[in-house]
Structure 1
């Protein structure tokens, strides 16, 4: 059963933002109070409604369906949705995606040429800041309730706050740490201080969250804390300068040994179950066994122009038939580059000019008809670059999602799934983390690859094949368009350097390196102007 956000949206927590809000800002989070704190926190039932808002703030955009009463003003409401911003900042900036739209600031993301006033970088900062303020208010106001179930709610709110700070560390590095509702301008914290906070929070709440697999679908349990710790420790050397790969192994193992499992068999008993993960019924077709933390969407009751509705619509254009993907039309925007396509090296069919058009690896979910592998022009040229068909609004029976108009998708978006933790384990072992071994890591990778190859061992590797170079490419094959790529490339020192190039990196068709400071986004310029306690990140 999907967690139903829509009936809970009016139970709004009064928000004091991570940053200061002023009327003259181009963008600002707003506080559409509908009930007082007394109303919201009168009992555990009402508190659960407020908890739903914390989850919904990452999935949806406001108080009135897809549009109307937005949480953040000054930017198109659908654009401001968290996972759409995650795609823009962590996928569109890499080899995984280009977009043909010319919205101010959007082409700069793939070109790696943004500045501190970029609308999309600013929108993500506000979205994350608002989530922190919602969580802080919930944690503070729910302390008065004595119901034992509320203790789980508080632990979940603390997880969501830690997850939000994980994002802030990744994107902006040095931002204020705010754990209390306050009217004063916050002081700036260092990346290491923020890292330590996230680590301590997750360690403290891990046993306060519900046991593995016992929470309702759409809400996190203690495995989510372990999984996020594995992600945090894997990036520790980049973010703090300290090697924490042994800890990454430890928490990856705890996650892997939980009740979650890799979804390997589809409804027809076939080994090719990878596409089940991205179908409209992925909350019930077995894929949910792999999902540790998801954003839930429903075409009728939780609508947004972000989320998977964005991932599906924006990736359809040209000669593609939208009805085959369960929607009413394509937005003709998103494609991928040959750098991603060429990582799928098990081509079984090629076009007349030698470009791959079919693969033995079923994760290569590309539409190639009338599409060019080579990108000559990004803007307004949907045919340049293969289209990606990974996300659809079709269920396991081939039926379209619940929105009869075809505008909004039912497909949930996995933010953390077990396959990523398999890859975390393997990478941490290869980087020297103790407590794991190469043979086990190889077995985990082969489990993923057997699913990718339809239950066949044709793509299996040996331990000697398992290298860091292999893992970064395997992460691309397994996790593309799931909001991971920029973070991965930075960890491998490939994001800004000339070591690895992709089409139009640095706004050059053949690709070029860019300034090293681009591994961190700027703190939005309007935030710097309104809070004298903040110093801009280097280079901006």
Structure 2
């Protein structure tokens, strides 16, 4: 998988639907022309193609274009991996407001009134378990026994060992997301028979231990940082996922693992990644080809012609177009975009307007002729909009299509590592205050913000603001607010939190989503989360 990975994924995505997902996962193979396993794995190249199919589940929803889905009964885009993460982290927090509340499931995310019947929760649960199933099937097809039966040579086996590590990474990432969003998951590995859908439940502590052990086990087999092909995971991606679980370990398992988080942040920073000189280049149509590749640690790919999906970047770029501004041409999409689908809350805007970020390149608020308040979600002329994402290249050309975009979604990037280091340091993880301050100032300087800070200004409140400004609309916000104790309860209220215009407290149980009813019905080993 090289620079043509977007095209490569599209060609082979349906191949992993061979026997992956029915029953408890609520997904079925939809391609009547799917190739049988024994016919497929006949060449050294086929093992790489099979791996591309596992990666394809991050971007694609089904084998027949963006309107198809391997999860039945849902709008195809609803179940796209990156879009599910975005919806559940941004729309359910102060990060974004979705205007079209008749779209199934979105009103209850905007207003924090979801239940176990929400279709977006069902789509995300199924998509994550799709990743598990696809990885499991790939691992079953690449055991020593299977390779012996096919007479695979030693050189190909060496490559396959790396591919298997990457498949296990994708499975671990899916279980990390299950741990974060749902607090439990069916535990299924390649050792379970195909069709064993009523798998035992793993709780958060068990998922944490599993994800940690899997990542540590695969590290020796992963490619060195920056040495793999674009959009394939390397050691830095595994380090990043480890740093993430350790940063949130107090939430997940009640343990302080900040020193471990900081240690892996140091490993990533020392590996040769670099901040993109222009902040906005990370979010442009050619972010897979420019120097942004040296900042983006792991992306979810998108392409207007080949890897088509209604994923997070397509949603954000079309959605950020203002209903009255009709400014889609500025971002390489149709002038009207999606008619003002996305705006931001008053509290989101106030962070950008507090004096620290007035001339910051990360402040892309569009405020003219708009009120800061979203007093009526249906009134798309209220609330500020943003212009962070673009389907234009760094040279100013439009992407290859004017709705589905070419812009890859940076799931992990170096700027987040800088911020995690600083936070882990403040929370007692060690490291250096001088270094932490330097990383904050590096991000501000990159964004042409003259307001650099000294050590006395380095506080957790500042870190939370910096995380919002640097990482907004990158599917981190809900997790951040939970870790900082500002999601549930009354410590911080935002517009429409709890279905109130000015915000009201949320119950503690809402820090975890409910298990979808369809999944509970299919697997009696699962239990509904408390409060639902």
User: Where does residue 354 of structure 1 map in the other structure?
Assistant: none
Give the match's secondary structure for 2:185: coil
Asked if the contact 1:116–1:525 (Cα under 8 Å) also holds between the matched residues in 2, the reply is yes
User: Where does residue 121 of structure 2 map in the other structure?
Assistant: 121
Match runs of 1:357-368 below 5 Å = 359-368=358-367
Asked if the contact 2:179–2:207 (Cα under 8 Å) also holds between the matched residues in 1, the reply is yes
Q: CA deviation at 1:85?
A: 1.1
Q: CA deviation at 1:138?
A: 0.6
Q: CA deviation at 1:11?
A: 2.2
Q: Does 1:240 align with 2:250?
A: no
Match runs of 1:99-498 below 5 Å = 99-101=98-100, 102-143=102-143, 144-145=146-147, 146=154, 147=156, 148-180=158-190, 181-182=192-193, 183-184=195-196, 185-264=198-277, 273-316=278-321, 317-328=323-334, 329-331=336-338, 332-345=340-353, 359-379=358-378, 381-403=379-401, 406-434=402-430, 436-453=431-448, 458-498=450-490
Determine the C-alpha separation between the residues in 2 that align with 1:338 and 1:364: 14
- Residues 137-187 of structure 1, C-alpha deviations (whole Å, 9 max, x = no match): 111211234521111111110111111111000001121211124323111
Q: CA deviation at 1:386?
A: 1.0
Q: CA deviation at 1:72?
A: 1.4
Determine the C-alpha separation between the residues in 2 that align with 1:41 and 1:538: 45
Q: Which moved more, 1:463-472 or 1:323-332?
A: 323-332
Asked if the contact 2:22–2:28 (Cα under 8 Å) also holds between the matched residues in 1, the reply is no
- Residues 464-517 of structure 1, C-alpha deviations (whole Å, 9 max, x = no match): 111111111110010000000000111111101110111111111111101110
- Residues 428-462 of structure 1, C-alpha deviations (whole Å, 9 max, x = no match): 1100013x111111111110110112xx5x12111
CA pair 66-420 structure 1, distance change in 2 beyond 3 A: same
- Residues 81-102 of structure 1, C-alpha deviations (whole Å, 9 max, x = no match): 1111111100001111011112
Asked if the contact 1:517–1:538 (Cα under 8 Å) also holds between the matched residues in 2, the reply is yes
User: Where does residue 507 of structure 2 map in the other structure?
Assistant: 515
Asked if the contact 1:128–1:168 (Cα under 8 Å) also holds between the matched residues in 2, the reply is yes
User: Where does residue 150 of structure 2 map in the other structure?
Assistant: none
User: Where does residue 528 of structure 1 map in the other structure?
Assistant: 520
Determine the C-alpha separation between the residues in 2 that align with 1:509 and 1:217: 44
Give the match's secondary structure for 2:39: helix
Asked if the contact 2:16–2:54 (Cα under 8 Å) also holds between the matched residues in 1, the reply is no
For these two proteins, the number of residue pairs brought into alignment is 510
Asked if the contact 2:302–2:408 (Cα under 8 Å) also holds between the matched residues in 1, the reply is yes
Q: 1:14 aligns with which of 15, 18, 32?
A: 18
TM-score (norm 1): 0.91
Unaligned runs of 5+ in 1: 22-26, 265-272, 349-357
CA RMSD of aligned residues (A): 1.7
Q: CA deviation at 1:20?
A: 1.6
Asked if the contact 2:99–2:342 (Cα under 8 Å) also holds between the matched residues in 1, the reply is yes
Q: Which structure features the higher share of helix residues? A: 2
Determine the C-alpha separation between the residues in 2 that align with 1:2 and 1:501: 45
Determine the C-alpha separation between the residues in 2 that align with 1:511 and 1:475: 22
- Residues 58-80 of structure 1, C-alpha deviations (whole Å, 9 max, x = no match): 11111122223x22121111222
CA pair 417-287 structure 1, distance change in 2 beyond 3 A: same
Determine the C-alpha separation between the residues in 2 that align with 1:365 and 1:241: 37
Asked if the contact 1:80–1:123 (Cα under 8 Å) also holds between the matched residues in 2, the reply is yes
Determine the C-alpha separation between the residues in 1 that align with 2:64 and 2:368: 39
Asked if the contact 1:28–1:74 (Cα under 8 Å) also holds between the matched residues in 2, the reply is no
Asked if the contact 2:13–2:57 (Cα under 8 Å) also holds between the matched residues in 1, the reply is no
Asked if the contact 2:17–2:29 (Cα under 8 Å) also holds between the matched residues in 1, the reply is no
Q: CA deviation at 1:395?
A: 0.8
Q: CA deviation at 1:257?
A: 0.6
Structure 1 runs of 4+ off > 6 angstroms?
A: none
CA pair 29-473 structure 1, distance change in 2 beyond 3 A: farther
User: Where does residue 151 of structure 2 map in the other structure?
Assistant: none
Q: CA deviation at 1:42?
A: 2.5
User: Where does residue 269 of structure 1 map in the other structure?
Assistant: none
TM-score (norm 2): 0.93
Q: CA deviation at 1:31?
A: 5.6
Determine the C-alpha separation between the residues in 1 that align with 2:495 and 2:19: 42
